[in-house]
Each structure stands twice: as C-alpha cells, then as structure tokens.
Amino acid sequence: MILDGKCPTGPIEQTWDKHRFDLKLVNPANKRKYNIIVVGTGLAGASAAATLGELGYNVQAFCYQDSPRRAHSIAAQGGINAAKNYPNDGDSIYRLFYDTIKGGDFRSREADVWRLAQVSNNIIDQCVAQGIPFARDYAGYLDNRSFGGAQVSRTFYARGQTGQQLLLGAYSALSRQIHLGTVKMFTRREMLDLVVVDGVAKGITCRNLISGAIESYAADAVCLCTGGYVNVFYLSTNAMGSSVTAIWKAHKKGAFFANPCYTQIHPTCIPQAGEYQSKLTLMSESLRNDGRCWVPKKQEDLGKRPDQIPEEDRDYYLERKYPSFGNLAPRDISSRAAKEQCDDNRGVGPGGRGVYLDLADAIKRLGVDTIRERYGNLIEMYERITGEDAYSTPMRIYPAPHYGMGGLWVDYNMMSNIPGLFVLGEANFSVHGANRLGASALMQGLADGYFIIPNTISGYLATVKPGGTSTDQLEFKQSAEEVQGDINKLLSIKGKRTVTDFMREIGTLMWNNVGMARSEESLQDALSKIPGIREEFWQNVNVPGSGADLNQQLENAGRTVDFMEFAELLCRDALHRKESCGGHFRVEYQYEDGEARRDDENFCYSAAWEYKGDDKFPEMHKEPLEFKNVHLAVRSYK
Amino acid sequence: MSDHKTMTLKLIVWRQKDANDPGRFETYTAKNITEHHSFLEMLDCVNEELILEGKEPIVFDHDCREGICGMCSQVINGMPHGGQERTTVCQLHMRQFKDGDTIYIEPWRARAFPIVKDLVVDRSALDKIIQAGGYTSCHTGGVADGNAMLIPKPVADESMDAAECIGCGACVAGCPNGAAMLFTGAKVSQLALLPQGKVEAAARVKAMTKAMTDCGFGNCSNHYECQAACPKGVDVKFIARMNREFIKAQFS
C-alpha cells in the first residue's frame, strides 16, 4: 500500500494556515460532550491535555510516574529552537525549516517540518507568558545560544535545565486545568493496551501500578504522547521507565510503525563505568559551543594525563574534518566521528571508549565564572558521577542512545492509520527524518501539544458522534483479559534469571549489532539471536511477587517483553534500508571519506510497518517523500 | 573496567508491605560495590541478589537517574538524599562511603506523605499545592511576543533560582514540622518575581498556602533543614519572600 500523508498542497508558506481554515470545528457547546484520553505527560502530553481541557473537551490524562511533572522531557538540558531571529543573524522560518530538513538527512515531510518551524515562535511567547525564566541579557531581552547543525543562534534556554522549565510550564498549565475540572489526572497508571472498536480507537487498558488493578477507560479519541524507544539498547540517556510499550501495543492493534531504524546516538554522554550501570547520563550539546573535542594523535600518549599531551599532539578531529561547523557538527556525524577515533585505538579513559571535551580554551578566553554560569550544573553533575573536576581537566565523553526519530506513522493531522488514534511528540515519526537536530525535540513536543493537535483533533471529532462507547463493551473486556493473562503468565514462570539480566542481554546485542553502525551481517546476526533470547525469557525469567500491588519487577518484565519484540522490527527496518542516512549508518553504504551515502533513487520514502501476527513477517507500506522546496543534496557540514 | 577496590556494606532498610503494615527494618549486605556505583545502582545489585534468593526486592521510586525528575526519595543515615550537598539519591555515588559502613535507608517521613510500600511514599499533596495556584492563568495562544516585556537579568536569574525546585519533597522530609514551605515558597517566589506572575500574586499565595495547610503540611519554625536537604540548593529566602507576599495579600 502506498500511504498518503494527506499533506496540504500549494505554496508551503500557506499550507498550515490554509489547512487550519479547512479543518472542521467542534461547536464550543458540544466540546464538553467529547472525551479525549491523553497518555503521557511530557512536553507533548502535558501541553496537549492542558490545551484540550482549556478548549472545553473532557480530558483524561495518564502517566506512570507519581506526578505528571516527572516525565522524561524534564531531563532535556540545552534548549529549544525558534525562528525568532532576535540576534539578527539571518534566521527565518524558512531557515529553520531548511536546517531541520537537511539535519534529518532529507527523510521527513516538508509540510510537517514547515508547520513546526512556523509555530516555533508561538511556543517561546507561550512559555514566557507562563512565567518560564528563560535566560536574559543585561538589557532584559531573551538570550540565545547555538546548537549543532545550525549556523545561527536560535536556541532559547534556562540554564542547563530548559526541559525542566518547559515541562514545569506545561505541568502548571495542566495543573490549572485539573483544578478547573476539565482534566482528570490518573498517575501511576501504565497503558498496556489500546482498545479498538470496529477499527476505531476508543480507549485504553491500564494497570494501576499501586493496586495492580487492570482498568479500562473509554473515549472518543486517544492521544499517545509516550515518548521514545531507545531503551531497547538497555543503556541510554532515557529514564528507567521509558519504554516502547504503549506504542508497541498500539502497533499490535494495527497502527503502523514508521522508520524504527532511525535512532539517535548522542555524542556527548558520560562513558560507561561498569557492567552494573543502569543508565547513561547526557552532557548537553550546548557544551560544544565552548568545548573542543579531541583525542591524542599518537597511541603512545594514551596513558598520559591530558595536560601532559602538548597541543601539537592533540587531534581536534571535528575541527579537522568539518571546518565550517567544527565542534557544532550535527549529532549523528559527531557521534560517528567519536566512534572512529576510538575504533582507531585513540580513545581515552577506561576501556578506550571515550574522547575529551575540553573547556580549557573557553575558560582562558571567557573566565571560569562565565563558564560556570553557562554550564555549572552540568559540570557539577559530571563531578558527582565521575569524581573529576571539568574546570581543571577535560571531560571524557562517549556517544549513547538518546532519541528515536521513528515512531508510529501519522498523517499531517497527526492521526495514525487507526482513526481516532493520534500520536504526538517523540512517539510519532513525523518531523525529524533520519536525524534530529539539538533543541528540536522540545520544540516538537510543545508544537504538537499546544498548537497542532487542538486544531487537527477537531477535524476528526467533528466527524464522529460523541459518547457511545462504554467500557462494558466486549472489546474492553477482551483487552483487559488479555492484559491480565500476560501478567499471570509472567508471574508464573519463576525461572532462574532476572528481568534486568534479559534486558541487558537484548540491549547489549542491539548496541553491538544495531547501534552506531550496522551491516547486513550484524543485522542478520541480531535477527538470528533475538528469538532465542525471547524464548528463554518465557521459560526462565523470575518475576517475583504478585500482580496485586506495587511490583516494579513486573512492570519491567512487561516492558522487556515489548522491547524484545520491537527489537526485531528495528533490525528488519535497518536491514531493508540499504543506504546510510542520518542516525542509520550502514557500513556498506559510505563514501570513501566515511560519510553516509544516501540512496534517493531507491529509498526516498518512509517505511511504515504493519503487524501481521506474532510469528509473521511484518508488511511494509511506503510513503514516498517529495521535496519541492528544498533540493535533495548530499548533506555536507564541511 | 573495574580495577577498583570493592566495598562490602551493611544496609538496614525500611520494609513495609503497604500503608496499613506497621513496617520494620531488615538487614542486607551489599557486596562487590565500587566507588563508581551510584547509590541506586548499589541497591539494584542488592535487589538482583534478593530476587535470585527468592525474596522480594526493595521497592524504591526512581526514574531519570540524573537528578532532575525528583522521583527518588530516600532518607539515608537520617538525611534526605544522603546529605551530600546539592545531590539527589540517584546522583549520590558510593565514593561517599567506605568499606564496612553501615547505612540506614528509610522513606520520606511526613504526615502529608503516606507510605505506599517500602521506600515509596505518596507525594500527591505537592501536586495539590500547585493545582491551587502555581501558575499564571494565561491561555494557550494569544499572548504577547516573548520580548515585549523586558525582565532585568538579576530578576530573571533569581526567579530561575526558585524555579530549580524538582518537587522531590526532601524539604518536607528534612523539616521537623513536615512543612512544605520551601516547596511552596519557591513557586510563589518564581512567579511573584516576574511581571507575568505579579497580576495574580495575591490570590496565588493565599490559595497555595491554604492548600498547603489543608494537605496536612506543618509550618516553618526556621530550622533551615529544608535548604540543607534540597538537592537544588533552593534558598530559604524564598520562604521569607512567600511570607511577605502572604502579608501583602492580606491588604489587597
């Protein structure tokens, strides 16, 4: 099947405005008759729930944490992009649009990206009105900094905690609606199934994580805002609870999963210290504004302290390879460059998997106080974890899984192929193509929630009669029984290996074979091993305790099951895409200098996979990508 | 990678089946711990062993494990988050301990935070305080340009100092009165400092302090334990500012 993204046509500058006018509206008096479920309360979910509630819909919002304020958007450090052009350095909506298309290696939809760039400016205004204390200059104006993949300063920030401040802004808007009674908040609930009635999304099945009760909720539309899936690599920068579960369950109920192989490996994370490690910690990309990446030129210098290696013996490899973008090369390129240095046996630190990120020049130039003001909290975090002081010695960093550009397939209205199922934020596949630029995830989450879904969801709701669905219906009962059945099965095995042990095994396999570089051989190898791990899991996992109370092992077991199934789809997508683009690097497809070789003739499309049953090969549907405003070109940052 | 010496530690951990269970301390041994383990990774290792021994692992809240989500919440040796300055439990690393140490691990203890299980407590009271007024009542869309209102840098910076709060509740756990004054004061101050927040400042401080009392939080008697416990170092001056806002509100 050839998929239709239902993008509006005509001059791109007018597409969103025209489409907004063409969308049907729901009469204000009728809005309260519609129920909308929002799953997840990160930037996309909290902003969507707050805005839909404010418009007058009845909203039910869900999160697995104890408070909606804790979703993992909170951990985003560096900033949020917008095309304000406050610094007068040549920015525009068109440039943000262009940079995002190019940054995504020409694998995203033009109209969606245009819309994102267009509403980016509204986001900043909205956040300021909410009382988010963005960084300001001495004249009282909003301050900007630079991020990877752009030659303009368009990133707004609040110290090193921009995600926190934006999420608390959305959380406060959500709290206001909870207070007003338009949104009912359900915390410590994990969505374990999507309920589809006659081909239309009508509700969800959740587990109450405190009581263990399986609960059903019905609505006229369901919005999944459940984040990304890179915990499939076990160690990543995601939160411990971040999982593919919600979107994977929706996929198994018929929603197409697009481009799962586009995974972002963030270049600047603290290297792994040992086997026992539970997660990797990011050091914001903003550090690359002032930090310089280097490794020793000579292998014999590896044992030396960094300050014993003279300037001429250091290889500032990003500045050498990409003189025009230097240390601000995009994430995929910077990550691969770090890997190359370590593969060349010039990596630093224990295990040789690390490169230096050195602030010494910036400290010399700007003084330690300025650097402390800009990055103090990051440097403090680095000290807590490594015991080292980054003001006096260079940080050691290494790439780590960070973000999934792929996700559930959605059309221009952000509706999946299942009518009534909308997907927002990282959980969908729409705007970042094969690689996301820094400070664009926050922009997308809030664009989707504050400014896009409130318009597009009315276009759908205006075509359906409100109500009419009840959790007494057969489909809800069946779903709840299936969920309970899976839980009982997990608890009954009582084998000899822990859940974490299995997750570590599958994650390590995925990282080694499907991480920063992939080949036909490594992917086939992973595909041959995954079913065996899954099989052993179902025979030998030990999930202690019962299903009738707070049981974190049981929660993790369910997430692990979904990751083990999803891992196979990720591999298949990566195997079929015989080209390199953005975060998907196939070693067979590269130029002589090691840069990614895209194949626009054969792969200029999004691959959306349809689930066909547990042991059946998924079916691929293509959505061709057309570029009318940006010329397809080799992506160069040299 | 672990060429470091390992530690063995004695853990005395609060176990409580549910809100109705009286609860008790249990003793465990943590073995092969290095200085690079985070405190929670140390507990992960203990839990892995408990599972293999057929016992129930220790339940504790955690999520981002990078010190920002505010989910982790343990009193370690009597101090919320373990006592290292400006550090959450998840960022506390085992280099702060030495081989042979005995470590007491307890949940947040406060009237407003009922225990759910083991080290997990119910902190929804903090959400209720925010719901009472911790926002500006702006609508989505239809707001002025971000630069339409100039805010002096020192004001924006001070507002940000208050906004750093991660809502973990350590301030409550550290306070002998179980007060949420630092938490509430931080939000009241963040918004009252900014021109956008001034419009509703009086109504906000009244509503939030009322919610604070209704939720069963105590009052401030200037112990400053909250600031000492705060993983973001939020300053007690924001309590003073809230009190000022509160008094002002009585005349408005």
Statement: residue A477 has pLDDT above 50: yes
* A305-333 average pLDDT score: 94
Mean pLDDT of chain A: 96
What span, in angstroms and rounded, lies between the C-alpha atoms of A450 and A202?
A: 23
Residue B49: how many other CB atoms lie within 10 Å:
15
The answer to whether B160 contacts A159, with C-beta atoms less than 8 Å apart, is yes
Task: Please give the sequence-ordered ranges of beta strands (E in DSSP) within chain B, or none if there are none.
Answer: 7-15, 24-33, 75-76, 79-80, 102-106, 115-117, 120-121
Contacts within 8 Å (CB) and 24+ apart, A471-474: A471/A203, A471/A216, A471/A217, A471/A218, A473/A197, A473/A218
Question: Which residues 91-150 of B have a C-beta within 8 angstroms of A?
Answer: 91-93, 95, 116-117, 120, 122-124, 126-127, 130-141, 143-147, 149-150
Q: Which residues pair with A581 in a beta bridge?
A: A584
Which tokens in the block code for residue A102?
A: 């190019």
Statement: residue B2 has pLDDT above 50: no
User: Residue written as tokens 């973008």?
Assistant: A325
Kindly state whether residues B103 and B179 are assigned to the same domain.
no
The domain boundary residue, chosen from B88, B116, B144:
B116
Q: What are phi and psi of A388, to 5 degrees?
A: -110, 150
Residues of chain B positioned with their CB less than 8 A from the CB of A156: 146
Instruction: Answer positive or negative: Cα dihedral of A489, A492, A497, A499.
Output: positive
* A304-312 average pLDDT score: 95
* B100-106 average pLDDT score: 98
Q: What is the pLDDT of residue A15?
A: 97
Residue A297: how many other CB atoms lie within 10 Å:
15
Q: What is the pLDDT of residue A167?
A: 98
Considering the domain boundaries, does residue B1 fall inside one? no
A80's enclosing H/E stretch is strand A80-81
HEC sequence for A506-549: HHHHHHHHHCCCECHHHHHHHHHHHHHHHHHHHHHECCCCCCCC
User: How do residues A501-545 score in pLDDT, each as one tens digit?
Assistant: 999 999 999 999 999 999 999 999 999 999 999 999 999 999 999
Chain A residue with minimal CA distance to B204? A176
If you count them, how many residues does chain A have? 638
Kindly state whether residues B147 and B240 are assigned to the same domain.
yes
User: How do residues B194-241 score in pLDDT, each as one tens digit?
Assistant: 999 999 999 999 999 999 999 999 999 999 999 999 999 999 999 999
Residues of chain A positioned with their CB less than 8 A from the CB of B57: 544, 552-553
User: How do residues B23-60 score in pLDDT, each as one tens digit?
Assistant: 999 999 999 999 999 999 999 999 999 999 999 999 99
Kindly state whether residues B33 and B70 are assigned to the same domain.
yes
Interface contacts A/B by beta carbons within 8 Å? 229
Q: What is the pLDDT of residue A47?
A: 98
Check residue A581 and report its DSSP letter: B
Q: How many domains does chain B have?
A: 2
If you count them, how many residues does chain B have? 252
Statement: residue A351 has pLDDT above 90: no
Q: For this structure, is A331 an active site residue?
A: yes
Check residue A12 and report its DSSP letter: H
Statement: residue A268 has pLDDT above 70: yes
User: 3-class DSSP state for residue A296?
Assistant: strand
Considering the domain boundaries, does residue B2 fall inside one? no
Task: Please give the sequence-ordered ranges of beta strands (E in DSSP) within A373-443, or none if there are none.
Answer: 395-404, 407-408, 421-423
Kindly state whether residues B112 and B153 are assigned to the same domain.
no
As to burial, measured by CB atoms within 10 angstroms (0-12 exposed, 13-18 middle, 19+ buried), residue B208 is buried
Considering the domain boundaries, does residue B230 fall inside one? yes
- Is A66 an 8 Å CB contact of chain B? yes
Kindly state whether residues B47 and B142 are assigned to the same domain.
no
Kindly state whether residues B98 and B142 are assigned to the same domain.
no
Q: What is the pLDDT of residue A635?
A: 86
The answer to whether the beta carbons of residues A40 and A227 sit under 8 Å apart is yes
> Which of these, A30, A388, A409, lies nearest to A224 by C-alpha position?
A409
The answer to whether the beta carbons of residues B75 and B170 sit under 8 Å apart is no
Statement: residue B1 has pLDDT above 50: no
* A68-76 average pLDDT score: 97
User: How do residues B161-193 score in pLDDT, each as one tens digit?
Assistant: 999 999 999 999 999 999 999 999 999 999 999
> Which of these, A477, A290, A278, A309, lies nearest to A373 by C-alpha position?
A290
Q: What is the pLDDT of residue B252?
A: 80
- pLDDT-wise least confident of A12-21, A377-386, A550-559, B113-122: A377-386
A37's enclosing H/E stretch is strand A35-39
Which of the following is catalytic: A331, A346, A396, A572? A331
* A99-117 average pLDDT score: 97
Q: Which residues pair with A623 in a beta bridge?
A: A606
- Is A130 an 8 Å CB contact of chain B? yes
| Alpha carbons within 13 A on the beta-carbon side of A144 | 21
Picking from B36, B120, B124, the nearest residue to A550 by CB comes out as B120
Mean pLDDT of chain B: 96
HEC sequence for A154-211: CEECCCCCHHHHHHHHHHHHHHHHHHHCCEEEECCEEEEEEEEECCEEEEEEEEECCC
Cα distances from A106 to residues A100, A597, A634, B19, B246, in angstroms, run: 9, 12, 9, 54, 55
Kindly state whether residues B43 and B12 are assigned to the same domain.
yes
What span, in angstroms and rounded, lies between the C-alpha atoms of A630 and B82?
A: 54
Considering the domain boundaries, does residue B93 fall inside one? yes
Considering the domain boundaries, does residue B185 fall inside one? yes
Which tokens in the block code for residue A395?
A: 């940080």
The answer to whether A172 contacts B146, with C-beta atoms less than 8 Å apart, is no
User: Domain range holding B72?
Assistant: 7-116
Q: What are phi and psi of A114, to 5 degrees?
A: -60, -45
What span, in angstroms and rounded, lies between the C-alpha atoms of B13 and B74?
A: 10
Per-residue pLDDT band for B4 (boundaries 50, 70, 90) equals: low
Statement: residue A67 has pLDDT above 70: yes
Kindly state whether residues B109 and B135 are assigned to the same domain.
no
CATH number (domain holding residue B229): 1.10.1060.10
Q: What is the pLDDT of residue A286?
A: 85
Considering the domain boundaries, does residue B64 fall inside one? yes
Cα angle value A319/A324/A329 (rounded, 5°): 65
User: Residue written as tokens 């075509």?
Assistant: A463
User: How do residues A119-168 score in pLDDT, each as one tens digit?
Assistant: 999 999 999 999 999 999 999 999 998 888 889 999 999 988 999 999 99
The answer to whether the beta carbons of residues A318 and A332 sit under 8 Å apart is no
Kindly state whether residues B21 and B74 are assigned to the same domain.
yes
Quote the minimal CA–CA distance from B219 to chain A in Å: 24
> Which of these, A242, A233, A280, A241, lies nearest to A507 by C-alpha position?
A233
Cα angle value B216/B222/B228 (rounded, 5°): 90
Q: Say which residue, A318 or B5, is predicted with more confidence.
A: A318
Question: Which residues 325-354 of A have a C-beta within 8 angstroms of B?
Answer: 350-351
The domain boundary residue, chosen from B116, B148, B172:
B116
The answer to whether B59 contacts A498, with C-beta atoms less than 8 Å apart, is no
Statement: residue A227 has pLDDT above 60: yes
Kindly state whether residues B84 and B133 are assigned to the same domain.
no
Domains, in order of start, for chain A:
12-263+403-461 (3.50.50.60), 266-401 (3.90.700.10), 478-621 (1.20.58.100)
Kindly state whether residues B109 and B206 are assigned to the same domain.
no
Determine the residue type at A300. Answer: E
Picking from B152, B167, B191, the nearest residue to A69 by CB comes out as B167
Which tokens in the block code for residue B202?
A: 């009086």
Statement: residue B3 has pLDDT above 60: no
Considering the domain boundaries, does residue B31 fall inside one? yes
The answer to whether the beta carbons of residues A589 and A597 sit under 8 Å apart is yes
Instruction: Give the DSSP per-residue string, A480-509.
Output: HHHHHHHHHHHHHH--SB-HHHHHHHHHHH
What span, in angstroms and rounded, lies between the C-alpha atoms of A36 and A182?
A: 11
- pLDDT-wise least confident of A88-97, A140-149, A202-211, B64-73: A140-149
Question: Which residues 490-529 of A have a C-beta within 8 angstroms of B?
Answer: 496, 498, 500-501
The domain boundary residue, chosen from B116, B135, B168:
B116
The answer to whether the beta carbons of residues B129 and B215 sit under 8 Å apart is yes
A257's enclosing H/E stretch is strand A257-258
CA A524 to chain centre: 26
CATH number (domain holding residue B33): 3.10.20.30
Kindly state whether residues B88 and B129 are assigned to the same domain.
no
Considering the domain boundaries, does residue B133 fall inside one? yes
Statement: residue A284 has pLDDT above 90: no
* B85-96 average pLDDT score: 96
Residue A594: how many other CB atoms lie within 10 Å:
12
Q: Which residues pair with B27 in a beta bridge?
A: B12
User: How do residues A244-260 score in pLDDT, each as one tens digit?
Assistant: 999 999 999 999 999 99
Per-residue pLDDT band for A174 (boundaries 50, 70, 90) equals: very high
Percent of chain A clearing pLDDT 90 (strictly above): 92
| Alpha carbons within 13 A on the beta-carbon side of A428 | 29
Determine the residue type at A576. Answer: H
Residue A28: how many other CB atoms lie within 10 Å:
9
